A and B are shown apart, each in its own frame.
Chain A
Amino acid sequence: MMRQFLAAALFTVVPAVGSADIATAVDTHVIPGFQAFAEATAVLDQAASDSCATDDIAEAYHNAFDAWLGVSHLTFGPIEDMGLTLSFAFWPDPKDQTGKTLNRLIADEDPVALEPSAYAEVSVAAQGFFALERTLFDTGSDSEYLCALTRAITSTLSANAAAVNAAWGTYAETVKSAGQEGNDRFRSPEEAQRALYTSLSTGLEFVHDQRLARPLGTFDRPRPRRAEARRSGRSLQNVAVSLAALRNLAVALGDSQVPEAEAAFDSALGRASQLDDPVFEGVADPAGRLRVEALQLQVRAAQIAVANEIGARYGISAGFNALDGD
């Protein structure tokens, strides 16, 4: 028993040879994530074509949004090449471009919404989950035009998700063959590791700096109305689902040898599940604010753990210039 233990311990300190971490991340995180996203948005589009009533679509909307959060941090590759990042999710939006663009379409009853194949050409602010959130949860009307708009949004969303998922079919091989002869996109395994690691670290940063910091604002000026997806009541859920996805990527990249990161993610997820403040309204009151800040601190701990356990192993000191700020 002891000998077995020693042998196991010895193996764990041998540095990973090749790029098992890349293949693991692609096969267990990226590919299933985009498949789930494509499927959930197809279900959503079907639900919207069956009925325009929010009650009938809400469940599919939430499932699809969850699936998006499973991959939203994976901005390199097909999403970037096709320029689709913002068309899935246009947030933060302090100038309310989503509201303004939709209002303009609605006021004009712009026929672009009647032809779903053309809808991909409208401003990205009027596409994706945040536009759909408005048509489903915010307009207080159920006009025929609004119904067409909802369907144009879900149809475009579903088509784009399918395109990205299909493209990942071949792109996955590009990532996994990093460093091999003829791979011009990733000339070394390190480049693929960096792309994946950057997805992880910027994903965590987005949770900390945007999803949590925006509603927190400052003590003197909390900004609960800046919470993400508050109209559909999923600000906290976005944080939790996103953290779960990022945890999954961290474990894959870290070859399951990231105890500090796993513990930090688990603490953050534990706090999120106990918070009971779905749209962060509590930030305006001192006690409630403290609880959201505590969650934000746990996310910071996860950022640090990921940098220590994965970034350091990859030789990446993230943000040398980004953090310098000069």
Chain B
Amino acid sequence: MLSRRAVLSGLASASSFAGASWADAGAPSHITAAQERDQTFSLCGLRQDGGLAFRIPLPGRGHAAAAHPGMPEVVAFARRPGRYGIVLDCIDGHVIQQIEAPPGRHFFGHGAFSADGTHLFTTENAYETGEGKIGVWSRSKEYVRAGEFASGGIGPHEIIRIPGTERLAIANGGIRTHPATGREKLNLDTMRPNLSIVSQDGRILDVAEVPEDSRQNSLRHIAALPNGLVACAFQWQGDTYDAPSLLALSVNGGALSYVDLPTALHRAMTGYAGSVAFTAGGQRIGITSPRGGVLGIVDAHGSAVDIVHQPDICGIAPSATGMIATDGLGGVVGITNTFTRLSTHPVAFDNHLVRIEQQGTLGT
């Protein structure tokens, strides 16, 4: 799908920015959607120190965003079952264009760019059949719909590119929904979530299913390292206090192995993980539960390092020094060996915090 021509045209398009870079947008290191005090919605660029680099209005509640690997451009997605994605220039905040889900599809709220930045991938629901789809959009052609392929399951939620590679990891949550019934879950008795690893042209390379005895553990959010290690964060659909672990690891889509979290952390999460991230070097994993108001830090072997209670904490992403997390009360916290409140803004930060990859630092 990504022909040599597409790559070249992508490069041509990139050059038209004449050297504009993330630094021009007040050097944001992360982006996140938010709700303002007046109940309107926005997309915020955050700096490494927790300061606000920019704030751009959104027409409705956002969810997550995809940051272009080299340009000051992000695509912010509507909250499920939204149909819009907004391409924003983060230098001056102007909307470059809007993309809209095709008929019979809605977005799940996450997306990812190809390694070369020429294509955008979006998780979508083909809701009449219930099939999970990945929409492919050509950035070089004003984000025209370039095609789609199967996500490898039902209810694909987060999609990421494994850093430094041309492989995509997809969290197929397993839950069938239809916009006519909102977020009602239509197949809890038969659901079977999985992690699918696909090539950028849609070939399924590996599938790791959630084990039969925990089939109601909905895989929603993922993070990955260049070596293919994928951290998986789950939302349990059964009795809260009967939940299996909400964190598992997989190497490149190989069998999922649950991380045995300490009881205090596991129970505090109340069956619900909101986001997951690795530190840049991969030494640690951060997993959040806004329902439990708790953040767990575990090392790569799955041993708990720290448990931090913070109301409505959800967004988490790697930073230069460790990780950064955000909460629904406007808090931005830095996580290194300690846990430091960096700033508090008069907004509610939405579910996800996305680190901006700078060109030249891909895969690091």
Contact = CB atoms under 8 A, between A and B. Distances in A.
Contact of A321 (B183, B239, B242, B312): B312
Query: Would you call the interface of chain B mostly helix, strand, loop, or mixed?
Result: mixed
A325 B312 contact: no
B240 A321 contact: no
Interface string A18-38: 000000000000000000000
Interface residues of A, number: 29
A4 interface: no
Contacts of B73: none
B351 A315 contact: no
Interface in B273-294: 274, 290-291, 293
Contact of B312 (A85, A188, A319): A319
A322 B291 contact: yes
Contact of B242 (A95, A317, A318): A95
B223 interface: no
Interface string B150-191: 000000010000000000000000000000000100000000
Interface stretch (A5-13, A75-83, A162-170, A297-305): A75-83
Interface string A78-117: 0010010110000011110000000000000000000000
A203 B297 CA distance: 25
Contacts, number: 79
B239 A94 contact: yes
B328 A321 contact: yes
Contacts of B157: 326
B35 A320 contact: yes
B71 interface: no
Contacts of A156: none
Contacts of A93: 241
A317 B328 contact: yes
B241 A76 contact: no
B351 A324 contact: yes
B335 to A, nearest CB: 15
A54 interface: no
Given A76-B309, A83-B264, A86-B264, A322 B293 contact: yes
Interface in B307-329: 309, 311-314, 327-329
A92 B271 CA distance: 13
Given A318-B311, A321-B312, A321-B328, 12 more contacts: A85-B264, A92-B241, A94-B239, A315-B37, A315-B346, A319-B290, A321-B274, A321-B313, A322-B293, A324-B351, A326-B63, A326-B79
Interface of A: 75-76, 80, 83, 85-86, 92-95, 124, 187-188, 190-191, 194, 198, 202, 315-322, 324-326
Interface of B: 35, 37, 63, 79-80, 109, 157, 183, 220, 235, 239-242, 263-264, 267, 272, 274, 290-291, 293, 309, 311-314, 327-329, 341, 344, 346, 348-351
